Chain A
Amino acid sequence: MRSATQALTVLAELAPGEARARLDHRLAEIAAAPATNRWFRPHELPDTHFMRFAIIDDPRGELPPLLAWECNHDGYAADYLAEVARTARSIETVFECCAHYPTGCIADVARWVDWMMARAYPAGAFYTAYRGVPHAMIVNDRRVHAALRRVLDHQDRAALHGLSRHELQRRICAEVADRHPELELSTDDEEEMRWMTGKLGAIGLVLLLLPFAILFGLPWYLALRHKESTDIASAYARPVDVDPAVKAIEDRGLQNQLTHVVDIKPGELRLATLWLVLKAIDLIARVYSVRGDLGGITSIHFARWVILRDRRSRRVRRGAAARHRLLFFSNYDGSWESYLGEFIDRAAYGLTAVWSNTRGFPATRYLVGDGARDEAAFKQWTREHQVATQVWWTGAPSSTVRNVRDDIWIRRRLDRGLTDDEVTSWLRRL
């Protein structure tokens, strides 16, 4: 099942000239009418949980603007892209505006996949609340849950009250099976054991790396402390002017998104530290936080960090330090304010460990201390580096993470000899 729920991040330079205006225009039309516009309809994509297009401009104008396609999909990237080329060819109208895009190449599936894969960046860390759960299963299980609830609503309550709990469950399940032959009601996929091998592997890996950590730990730590005392950090001054385009797409409904781009602090130490921290988070996300709970945060569907290295030659940079950037894409439940609040209240260690390696982050101690705990400064810093998301699409807009996990839980326990406690709990969740 390693192939399910993958993170695809395609970053492509925009073509020079009027391509930018053309792209802006097309993305705006797509965002305004995702299902009916004449360019590209995201719902035509196969097996896609969330996707977005965001144009990443360099505020200093030194780096070329990029089109970011963030996609959370099922299956291996190459297979997925091939399927996209077959079912959603109109996506070409977006990539046409990118540099070196061979217009019409989507007709040649292999060539198109190659072009995209050449611009696909690996995620430094990738978290999902439902790793390994295909989109089709999420849609199916929500329908199953809704059908179960409708049966309960339409039955005679008094008659149902006379039944034992087990009989009650059997009755409801039979009714749904009867009325909805199109729904998948099998209960035989189990995720519980799948993570055990991963956990053992992770423990082995940590033990293997321990001697190196002891060897390099102290010099690294001293160097880091020195950097922390000399870095320039932001303190809260006043609200920043938020791009109206950022505001317009924010706080719209049950789910929301965030696109964030910030320069990594110069020097190899910061880049290496960041890489290591992201790897650690990625490992935790893969083997430990696999049930919709990342250190107490239960509102993130998918999130990823991507390190984007500065590929300009020293000559092009005119000797200036390389500007590596850290991209963050998140798809979450609730409002911006509640999301940032959860970051501060529950995940300040992890986030500070990541973003303290980027420019202007509120002052930190020992890599993970302070930082995001400075509430006003952290929110302001987040705002300063937030980027407008031109098109954002979600495949299950009315499900929170909790809903998705409850739906799966309920479908897995359809009429299959549960204990009394389990049946009570099952009935309570309908």
Chain B
Amino acid sequence: MLEPQRTDLEDIQGIVYSGWLDHPYAGYLFARFGTHRAASRAWLASVAPGVTPAARHLRPADGRLQIALSVAGLGALGVPGDVLDAFPAEAQAGMAARRQALADPDPATWQLGGPHRPLHVLVMVYARDAEARARALAGHRAALHAAGAQVYPDELTWPVKQREHFGFADGLSQPFLPGLHGAPRPGEDRIPAGEILLGYPNAYDQVPSSPTWRDFDLGRNGSFLVFRKLAQDVAAFWGWIADHARRLTGGDPAATAELTELLGAKLIGRWRSGAPLALSHDRDNPAFAAPEHANAFKYLAHDPDGLICPVSSHIRRANPRDARGGTALDSETVVSRHRILRRGRSYGAPLPHPVACTGRDDGVPRGLYFLCLQSSIARGFEFIQQSWLVNPGFGGLYNEPDPIIGDNRVRAPDDEPYHITIPAQPFRLRLGNVPAVVTSLGGDYFFVPSLSALRHLATAG
């Protein structure tokens, strides 16, 4: 079977199908199961029927519920070690163990997960209003508690907006999965279902192996989920840019404001409206923010040196398209083997843009719950994070990690501090004193089982 069939849509969890943006209020509940396995399984049996599938006719009018389990959580439910051993090594190890590869801060300092707070289960609730979300979360908290689980504090998203906290339109670039999504929307590129879901051929035309327990394929129609809580220091980001703009323009306020916008766009690769630099070179043009434009561009043919969209810009690193190296086709082949579905949402109240540009923070915690789905975390999230985003040698650059994701507190091994290069004629601009604007507060790797696998896990023990 090359792609999911109609019946599979009744089995696949809805989060693979959609980020449920029509439900603006999301909440995440993390828990560690108790030692009484039967109680944990009984909890799972009670909650499984309410989990939202991808199939439209089975979705309720209001409210969405998705469940993810870490490999440790599967163990706590009674899945034996030899079955757990068949999960990919990175999923077994968990995110904290991968800290070196991901350039993450010490897990002992994390708010979420890490050595002192094992995460077994993640309950994701999506609601149309804040009250419904609060009710749903309270219900799950009580039920988990009754089953002997230790439940961690609620993680609540800010209501969906089209902008993330740095002020840029987000969620514009998503791959299209045949069989799962009806027809590709403008600008969406098609990837094999097996890049996201287990049980289908992936980009290498192979069906990845899948863990089996008591003659039941646990993996099929499931997906791996990365959950990260990333704090964003919005004032540090824009304040740093505005400082450079002020220095370069000699302090003229109008010119400084204009250059601040341009430099911000150069660092991200898009203007704040979402219009890509590749299409709108000098100023923001919201007409190009529409999805049919926002993805319709390549780098290699028109901008190999990054004079328009810098090689170091965040979107060019996160998806280098045809400019990863070698020929355009080589590059697109490589890039097609590292695709993920993004399902992130913001938390915390936004900081108004003019305030951010003064560089003065209001002290309100804010950031991004980064969520992404893939059939292999090593080849998906970890690869993108490690080889493209935090790699200071990406694309022939020198000592230059991603301007927002790269941990700029870590120094290069030799004398030179990190810089961000913005190519220009006749010579480039280099921005120094790069601040650390995104800090991981923790998270973990989870498995999003199919609905039938959830039922099997609840009853097979």
Interface of A toward B, CB cutoff 8 Å:
145-146, 149, 152-153, 157, 160-161, 165, 168, 236-239, 242, 250-254, 296, 298, 333-335, 337-338, 341-342, 344-346, 373-376, 397-400, 402-403, 406, 424, 427-428, 430
Contacts and interface: CB of A to CB of B under 8 A. Distances in A.
Contacts of B181: none
17 contacts: A152-B427, A152-B430, A160-B427, A239-B85, A239-B92, A254-B391, A254-B413, A338-B383, A341-B334, A345-B330, A375-B204, A397-B413, A398-B398, A400-B393, A402-B396, A428-B423, A430-B427
A398 B379 contact: no
Contacts of A296: 326, 330
A254 B325 CA distance: 17
B153 to A, nearest CB: 32
Interface of B: 85-89, 92, 100-101, 204, 206, 208-209, 248, 305, 325-326, 330, 333-334, 337, 378-379, 382-383, 386-387, 391-393, 396, 398-399, 412-414, 416, 423, 426-430, 432
List of 6 A-B pairs having minimum Cβ-Cβ separation, nearest first: A400-B393, A402-B396, A239-B89, A251-B101, A338-B387, A397-B413
A397 B382 contact: no
A239 B396 contact: no
Contact of B426 (A242, A335, A399, A427): A427
Nearest to A335: B386
B426 A161 contact: yes
Contacts of A152: 427-428, 430
B396 A403 contact: yes
B396 A424 contact: no
A375 B387 contact: no
A427 B427 contact: yes
Contact of A428 (B305, B333, B378, B393): B305
A276 to B, nearest CB: 28
B79 to A, nearest CB: 14
B337 A341 contact: yes
Given A239-B92, A253-B413, A346-B326, A403 B426 contact: no
Nearest to A150: B416
Contact of B206 (A153, A346, A376): A376
Contacts of B386: 251, 334-335, 337-338
B416 A168 contact: no
A337 B382 contact: yes
Contact of A398 (B248, B325, B414, B429): B414
A254 B209 contact: no
Contact of B399 (A157, A236, A333, A398): A398
A133 to B, nearest CB: 17
B393 A252 contact: no
A398 B416 contact: yes
Main secondary structure of the interface of A (DSSP, over half): helix
A157 B244 CA distance: 13
Nearest to A249: B100
A214 B59 CA distance: 67
Contacts of B383: 335, 337-338, 341
Nearest to A296: B326
Contact of A236 (B209, B412, B416): B209
A89 to B, nearest CB: 27
Contacts of A344: 204
A375 B206 contact: yes
A430 B305 CA distance: 12
B406 to A, nearest CB: 13
A334 B414 CA distance: 17
A131 B413 CA distance: 25
Contacts of A428: 305, 423, 427-428
Nearest to A236: B209
Contacts of A398: 392, 398-399, 412-414, 416
Given A168-B427, A398-B399, 7 more contacts: A152-B430, A153-B432, A253-B413, A335-B383, A341-B334, A398-B413, A399-B393
B427 A238 contact: no
B393 A403 contact: yes
Contact of B391 (A145, A149, A168, A334): A334
B393 A238 contact: no
Given A397-B413, A398-B414, A153 B396 contact: no
A346 B393 contact: no
A374 B391 contact: no
Which of B88, B89, B392, B416 is the most central at the interface, judged by chain A CB atoms within 10 Å of its CB?
A: B89
Contacts of A254: 391-393, 413
Contacts of B101: 250-251, 335
Contacts of A250: 101
B303 to A, nearest CB: 12
Contacts of A334: 386-387, 391, 393
A403 B326 CA distance: 16
A165 B426 contact: yes
B392 A252 contact: no
Contacts of B396: 400, 402-403, 406
Contacts of A373: 204
Contact of A345 (B305, B334, B378): B334
A219 to B, nearest CB: 34
A206 B48 CA distance: 67
Nearest to A375: B204
A195 to B, nearest CB: 21
